[in-house]
Amino acid sequence: MRITVLTGGASAERTVAFAGAAQIVEALRGRGHKVEVVDTVTGLLSPGDERQLLTGAVGREPPSVAELDAREREFLSNGLSKLDAVKGADVLLLCLHAGRGEGGTLQAILDVIGAPYTGSGAMASALAMDKDLSKRLFRAAGVPVPAWFMAPVAPEDVTTALGWPAIVKPSRMGSSVGMTLVRSAKGLDPAVELARQYDSEVMVEQFIPGRELTVGVLGDVPLPVGEIVPKHELFDYECKYTPGMSEEIFPAKLDTKLARQLQELALAAHRALKLGGYSRVDFRLSPDGDIFCLEANTLPGMTRTSLLPQAARAAGVEFPELCERICRLAGNSGSRRGGNI
Ligand SMILES: Nc1ncnc2c1ncn2[C@@H]1O[C@H](COP(=O)(O)OP(=O)(O)O)[C@@H](O)[C@H]1O
Ligand SMILES: [Mg+2]
């Protein structure tokens, strides 16, 4: 196949995207595919650019995005559709996180260009990026979610309806960026202010103690459940991207019935948002054994050691094959049929 990987992007998760792209490119070239790489900020990468950018290092802090934003706008408006690597590709593989690449804007542009791409369509991507809307749809589909308010909310209402500690997070972000575990009423305002630096919509959510579980979905089939045991109380940015800062167990040690229930809920969440191709759905399991769905990720991390690739491996699908399967599933997204968002 002729595959063009779209990566980088103007978001706080730019370096995370490059880390995944580096390994995807290597795996797909290793399987004999013709692979080119396009950064949605700077355009087609030369072999020299690839060596420099696809180093695989993520760093402890996310980069600033303001300066990248204008360049990405310009490239997506005027550069992308003219590239041979886009016009001639059998499939565009999206390895982007947050921003226009995960939130549906790029998907809508690609629908207009008429280029086939991996993962979810524009509407589904936008829904999954918005935790508030996602949770409403999950709840309607019978997928349990933690209780929440959208800010502003009075501390007394948090005390009554959610209790402390509570989680404050930007509604449309990822990688735990801008998130705070707030232990009492006086911490609420500063936490909302911090989250607002990343998104005008801020969610204040019931904290669910207990275990952290994740379920990948590949082409409508849920993969084995994984458990994450972070070194910090939350699965934060540092734990997500620093080797050794979290333990990841695939398959999770769970009673078979509970594991099956999580897989069913993951598929229900995937379908509730009309996701396409593949996704990864995050859960908490309370000490009482209650399941809560936190979110669905349409473009989950894709280094060899990321959660979805580990889940696939537990199901007997090695990383290069996973990358190929994701490419083959492109355009099979239910939400994309008909072309409208
Ligand atoms: N309501 C919650 N209760 C307990 N932990 C939470 C809650 N919300 C988020 N977390 C912790 O923060 C991490 C990231 O939150 P999540 O909602 O998945 O956002 P992101 O899009 O940043 O991954 C979770 O994996 C979990 O460890
Ligand atoms: Mg998450």
Full set of structural domains in the chain with CATH: 2-117 (3.40.50.20), 129-143+208-328 (3.30.470.20), 148-206 (3.30.1490.20)
Active-site amino acid positions: 13, 175, 241, 280, 282, 295, 297, 301
Question: For residue 54, what pLDDT band results from cuts at 50, 70 and 90?
Answer: confident
Tell me the C-alpha distance between 330 and 324, whole Å. Answer: 10
Q: Is residue 58 pLDDT above 80, yes or no? A: no
Question: For residue 102, what pLDDT band results from cuts at 50, 70 and 90?
Answer: very high
Region 181-190: mean pLDDT is 98
For the purposes of burial, counting CB atoms within 10 Å of the CB of 189, is it exposed (0-12), middle (13-18) or buried (19 or more)? middle
192: closest CA among 158, 216, 221? Answer: 158
Out of 176, 180, 240, mutate this one to test ligand 1's pocket (max ligand atoms within 8 Å of CB): namely 176
Block residue for tokens 């800010």: 151
- pLDDT tens, residue by residue, 210-256: 999 999 999 999 999 999 999 998 888 888 888 889 999 999 999 99
Q: Is residue 176 pLDDT above 70, yes or no? A: yes
> What pTM value is reported for the model?
0.94
Bridge partners of 271, per DSSP, are: none
Given a contact cutoff of 8 angstroms between Cβ atoms, the answer to whether 59 and 15 are in contact is: yes
* Closest ligand to the CA of 163: 1
295: closest CA among 191, 208, 210, 185? Answer: 208
Tell me the C-alpha distance between 292 and 153, whole Å. Answer: 22
Atom of ligand 1 nearest to the CA of 297: 21
Chain-wide mean pLDDT for the chain?
93
Q: Residue 135 C-alpha to ligand 1 middle, in angstroms?
A: 13
Given a contact cutoff of 8 angstroms between Cβ atoms, the answer to whether 129 and 104 are in contact is: yes
Q: Residue 208 C-alpha to ligand 1 middle, in angstroms?
A: 9
Is the shortest distance between the CB of 175 and ligand 1 below 6 Å?
A: yes
Q: Is residue 259 pLDDT above 50, yes or no? A: yes
- The predicted pLDDT at position 218 comes to 98
- Residue 282: CB partners within 8 Å, gap ≥ 6? 212, 213, 214, 293, 294, 295, 296, 297
Q: Is residue 340 pLDDT above 70, yes or no? A: no
Tokens of 34: 């013709």
Is the shortest distance between the CB of 295 and ligand 1 below 6 Å?
A: yes
- Residue 173: CB partners within 8 Å, gap ≥ 6? 12, 98, 179, 198, 199
Helices 131-140 and 122-129: angle between axes, nearest 10 degrees: 100
Q: Is residue 158 pLDDT above 90, yes or no? A: yes
Is the shortest distance between the CB of 167 and ligand 1 below 6 Å?
A: yes
Is the shortest distance between the CB of 207 and ligand 1 below 6 Å?
A: yes
- pLDDT tens, residue by residue, 265-278: 999 999 999 999 99
Is the shortest distance between the CB of 276 and ligand 1 below 6 Å?
A: no
Region 122-131: mean pLDDT is 98
Q: Is residue 79 pLDDT above 90, yes or no? A: yes
